[in-house]
Structure 1
Amino acid sequence: MPVKVYGAAMSTATVLVLLCLEEMGAEYELVPIDFSTGEHKSPPHVARNPFGQVPAFEDGDLMLFESRAISRYVLRKYKSSGPDLLREGSLEESAMVDVWLEVEAQQYDEAISAIYIETVIKPVFFGGVPDEKVVAESAEKLGKVLDVYEARLSKSKYLAGDFLSFADLSHIPYTHHIVAGPQASLFESRPHVKAWWESLASRPAYKNVTTGTPTS
């Protein structure tokens, strides 16, 4: 029986879970949650995710929420049928995956999510105008983070080493949107970062999940 993901195509957290499912070749059903009607705050959905957010994940009697936790569950459940993205068979490699997952969560996410909110969420969903001051400040922060990435990726093909990992996938949901806008130059101007992103964007899982997802 396919697992169920309750979420929305424009939700970066939902996209992360779908990427992991696609990478592992797992069967799943995406159950759309309509934010415009407030469905995410409805009693049935709050029963799945008590914070009224997406995604929620159902595997038989098991119900999970929080995208990073769901993703780890997926990568462990289907580890025999897809790439080893957590590298838990090696203490050193799994530690490097954890390091770059933390970098994404603590450094990368703060800067890039602010740009995403201003340049995608505000105009697309609320008809608003981006706060250019916030965009500029966040782009400067992101540039400094990407300088660290450029140095790292000059030594290895991917962030945790010369192997694809969950640390790399975790960057896709926001980056997919930002590289389609004016801030794409932040990635294109750094050759190793550019090559890394192009490698991620060429993967079938990326194409399957993001095809048809508006970027602006």
Structure 2
Amino acid sequence: MAPKVHGSVFSTATMRAFATLHEKGIEFEVVPINMGAGEHKKEPFICFNPFGQVPAYEDGDLKLFESRAITQYIAHEHHGKGTELVYKDAKKMAIVSVWMEVEAHHFDPVTSKLVFEQVVKPMMMNMETDSAVVEENQKKLGQVLDVYEVRLSKSKYLGGDGFTLADLHHLPTMNYLMGTSTKEVFEARPHVCAWAKDILARPAWIKTVAMQKQA
């Protein structure tokens, strides 16, 4: 039986799960959750995630929530199939884990605020963007990407020479921001810019984005 992903094709967290499944070549079923109607805050979804946040993942009798936990499960469970997004070698995996933590604690908090201000508010909520919040967070993002620029001057990808979850986890918010003025923050750093273009062009990610047009 194919695994099920409960979520929205427009949710950055859900898109992480979709991208991982596409990278591994795993067929899956999407169970749409209408977040505008608040379906993620009530039954039956709340039985999958008591915090009421998408996505949730079903694989047989296994039920998971939290997107980064889901991607790690998929990558480890299907090791040897599709793109190897994790390593069995402890030292190599430790480096990948470091940059996965960096994404979760340094990159995502800033980029999520920028996505909300520059994409969600004007396009989905008919609200004005707060330019002061954008300016503040673009500055913070620049400081984060300065660290990335140094790292990516030494290796093609964040976790080493190969594309891993450390890179994949960045894709959803990055993708949205490439249609905003924040794109310039990425482009101002040559190695970051090259890395971003590389991972955004991956076939698995293109498939993930295409799911929005089909919805």
Instruction: Give yes or no for TM over 0.5.
Output: yes
Mapping of residues 153-192 of structure 1, within 5 Å: 153-192=152-191
SS of match in other structure, 2:44: helix
- Gapped regions of structure 2 (runs ≥ 5): none
Q: Which residue of 2 aligns with 1:15?
A: 15
CA distance in 1, matches of 2:86, 2:92: 8
Shift of 1:212: 5.7
**Match for residue 75 of structure 1?**
75
Q: Which runs of 4+ in 1 moved over 2 A?
A: 211-214
Whole-angstrom CA distance in 1 between matches of 2:167 and 2:48: 28
Equivalent runs, 1:50-129 vs 2, <5 Å = 50-87=50-87, 89-129=88-128
Q: TM-score, normalised by structure 1?
A: 0.95
After alignment, is 132-141 or 34-43 more displaced? Answer: 34-43
Cα displacement (A) at 1:78: 1.1
Alpha-carbon distance in 2 for matches of 1:49, 1:185: 36
Structure 1 SS opposite 2:182: helix
CA distance in 2, matches of 1:159, 1:113: 20
| TM-score normalised per structure 2 | 0.96
Query: What do residues 62-100 of structure 1 show as CA deviations (whole Å, max 9, x unaligned)?
Result: 11111111111111111121222111x212110100110
Equivalent AA in structure 1 for residue 69 of structure 2: A
Secondary structure at 1:5 match in 2: strand
Once residues 199 and 39 of structure 1 are traced to their aligned partners in structure 2, the CA distance between those partners, rounded to angstroms, is 35
Percent of matched pairs sharing the same residue: 46
Contact 2:9–2:211 (8 Å) recurs in 1:
no
Supply the distance in 2 between the matched residues of 1:58 and 1:212 (Cα, whole angstroms): 19
Provide the alpha-carbon RMSD of the alignment: 1.2
